[in-house]
Structure 1
Amino acid sequence: MDAAQVERLRGDLAEFTTDVFGSLTRVGWQDRAGWYVRGLMLDGRRKSIQPMAARLDGVDEQALNHFVTNSPWDVVPVRRRLAQAMDAAVAPVAWAVDDTGLLKSGTASACVARQYTGTAGKVTNCQVAVSLDLVTDTASCPVDWRLFVPEAWDPACPGAFEDVADRRAHAGIGPDVTHRPKWRLALDMIDEVTGWGVTAPLIVADSRYGDTGDFRLGLTERGLSYVVQVTGQISAYPQHTVRTVPPYRGVGIHPRPRYRDPAPCLRDLVTGMGTGAARMVTWRDGSCHRDGTPLPMRSRFVFARVRPAGRTMLRRYRDQDLPEAWLIAEWPAGAAEPAKYWLSNLPARTAKRRLVRWAKLRWRIEHDYREIKTGLGFDHYEGRTWQGWHHHATLVSAAHAFCTLQRLDPKAPAPQ
């Protein structure tokens, strides 16, 4: 970039940080937020405080460390402003919820424990962060975060560490912070961002959330539409299955209508329909090109209307017909059985191409995780406190948002 472009970029960043960090009213806080965001975007293999401060001319490492680790600024107003700004800029077609592992070698960082993470594909020593991202096919941004509290870090849980009280004290974790399943954290974030005046157009998630009936039911009770991936073991009745009344035996209470037979699993439902039920669907242009033309993203899918029938649904709709939902199954040509499954509470009239497009939209959150880790140092934070981690996560989100805004502006120079 030439000098004029560099100057414009600095001006854009200053304007952005003034807006997003406007709630930080103490002297020097907004400046330090700008330093940190800029440091995250500068070239360099390590994005922890010491090497970042060394790359930023005139920045005091101690002041930057104090700002992130110890300064008592509230992340909520910053995230609220970030969510509102990015909602207007990105115009998301969905909110994506997911989690990612932050691998750790020590045991003192807040909420670090041996637990499963898809980042490593196994149980390992890590923190797990749950995020909510605003997504489209071309742009996305994480706007809210939760640090998952394993049972080992909750003194009320039977599997808590023997020294859990000391660990929590050293990490600055308050008594109101307890273990909550990741799907509940996702609902908490959805409620929080909705409370900021941002409207959720659609919720997408992978099977770690979609398999949980309480999560799907929570979305339905909030009036939210969803397309969530599930495993083939989830049970569901075909659409036209009806409840029947068992014969009255002449004694006791008259029986109520109920589903007489156990519900089959999704895998059996779809394979029973046969591969001939699959149809080719193209949902968007891909990133690969041939002779200058983008190659379409396409595959074969089976669609059916079903009534999900897990324990949660049967308990919730005990005296009612189970609600209908879309079942979408991807069945690639030549495969013996479907590769992926989704459930959706979208209306029956929804176009099948749209169903597939939204089912496939969750890839954007993987793109975000890769970008904030490899480019913006999300997993480089070396602090050990609960507050410091949330400060760092918020600042990384701001850096990602600024990069996204620059990419959306065709006249803006690329951040360097």
Structure 2
Amino acid sequence: SLHLASDNASAAVNWRLFLPESWDPASPKADAAKVSRRARCGIPAEVGHVEKWQLALDMIDETRSWGLDVPLVIADGGYGDTAAFRLGLEDRGLDYAVGISTTTTAQPQDAQPCTAAYTGRGRRPAPAYPQAAKTVKNLVIAAGKRAARPVQWREGSRPGSGRSGHKRMYSRFVALRIRPAGREIRKATVGTELPVRWLLAEWPATEDEPVQFWLSNLPETTPLPVLVRTAKLRWRIENDYREMKQALGLAHFEGRTWPGWHHHVTLVSVAHAFCTLQRLTRSPKETALA
């Protein structure tokens, strides 16, 4: 799903139903029994298996074609770990702050490629980095726990000492400038330096190691609090899913058809958008009495 989100509200505006390779007759992994069920399920003949990261890019393209602005993309590690997804966002001129796993590799910002001497035979060697790329986890640990800075990014829903009487969301973060590596990145930047990006890591004071990582192409001048608030904004999407499942029946669909599923998520999305607009336009007193 694709959601439009701000600090105050969010709404699901686009959906895709992922079709596994076993359901795609053009795939070498096609399952004859599942392929034979396509007609009964109402799956259009032209629909085949598409990777989830590509479905996400397709949703972004479609949403932008409606005239809606997508100024910045936030996604979890299921998408951020895929270099092709990040490259697709950059090809579209979009900023992003995406989750990544601890095993994502990168070079330090000051790493410089060098070219081996040409022997006069075959292709000239391409520039390469003399040191192997390190995992983002190791880069942050090398920077040290003292590099972490405290940041408060919002107030939560539990009672606390914040301005609104709610608990303040607070932790410590390390921000480093790095050069993401990996085969796809190297292919896209052959003969040039790896691009420099932000690595953001959450490292709570109570933990021996960082616990969460993000990668972002926001400008070098972006302040740490902005990086943190941007990366953490994804909580709104998790909140959308909680509301749609618990109050609006998103998880109650029991049909077995392609049109039925799309009909169901459309109605749930419209209901959620209506409830969101009611919260935004009505006073807190009216909402409490409703």
Q: TM-score range by the shorter chain?
A: over 0.9
Which residue matches 2:216?
Answer: 344
Match of 1:182 among 52, 73, 76: 52
Deviation at 1:252, TM superposition (A): 4.5
Match of 1:144 among 2, 6, 14: 14
Match of 1:204 in 2: 74
Shift in CA distance, 294/411, structure 1 to aligned 2, threshold 3 Å: closer
Aligned to 2:229: 357
Q: More displaced, 221-230 or 162-171?
A: 162-171
CA contact (8 A) 2:83 2:185 kept: yes
Q: What is the rounded CA distance, in whole Å, between the counterparts of 1:191 and 1:297 in structure 2? A: 33
What's the secondary structure of 2:213's corresponding residue?
strand
CA contact (8 A) 1:141 1:368 kept: yes
**Of 164-173 and 292-301, the range deviating more from structure 2:** 292-301
1:372 and 2:244 matched: yes
Corresponding residue to 2:199 among 313, 324, 327 = 327
Partner of 2:256: 384
CA RMSD of aligned residues (A): 1.7
Structure 1 Cα separation of the partners of residues 26 and 133 of structure 2 = 36
| Equivalent residue number for residue 53 of structure 1 | none
2:134 corresponding residue in structure 1: 264
Matches of 1:368 and 1:142 in 2, distance apart? 8
Q: CA deviation at 1:411?
A: 4.7
For structure 2, the 5+ residue unaligned runs are: none
Match of 1:155 in 2: 25
Residues 12, 269 of structure 2: 8 Å contact kept: yes
Q: Which residue of 2 aligns with 1:399?
A: 271
How far 1:295 moved relative to its partner?
A: 2.7
- Normalising to structure 1: TM-score of the pair? 0.66
3-state SS, counterpart of residue 27 of structure 2: coil
Aligned residue in 2 for 1:274: 144
- Tell me the TM-score normalized by structure 2: 0.94
Deviation at 1:319, TM superposition (A): 1.4
Between Structure 1 and Structure 2, how many residues are aligned?
A: 286
* Structure-1 separation of matches of 2:278 and 2:183: 47
1:114-153 equivalences under 5 Å are: 131-153=1-23
Deviation string 1:205-231 (CA, Å, 9 cap, x unpaired) is 100000000000000000000000101
Aligned counterpart, 2:175: 303
- Seq. identity, %: 52
Partner SS state of residue 270, structure 1: helix
Tell me if the contact between 1:155 and 1:164 (Cα under 8 Å) persists in the aligned partners: no
Residue 194 in structure 1 maps to residue 51 in structure 2: no
Shift of 1:260: 2.4
Alpha-carbon offset, residue 299 of structure 1:
0.6
Contact residue 278 and residue 302 of structure 1 kept, 8 A: yes
Question: How big is the shift at 1:286?
Answer: 2.3
Cα deviation code 1:172-212 (max 9, x no counterpart): 11111101111111000000000000010210010000000
* Structure 2 residue 97 is matched with structure 1 residue 227: yes
Tell me the SS of whatever aligns to 1:247. Answer: coil
| Preserved CA contact (<8 Å) 2:81 2:100 | yes
- Structure 2: how far apart are the matches of 1:293 and 1:401? 27
Letter in 1 for 2:46: D
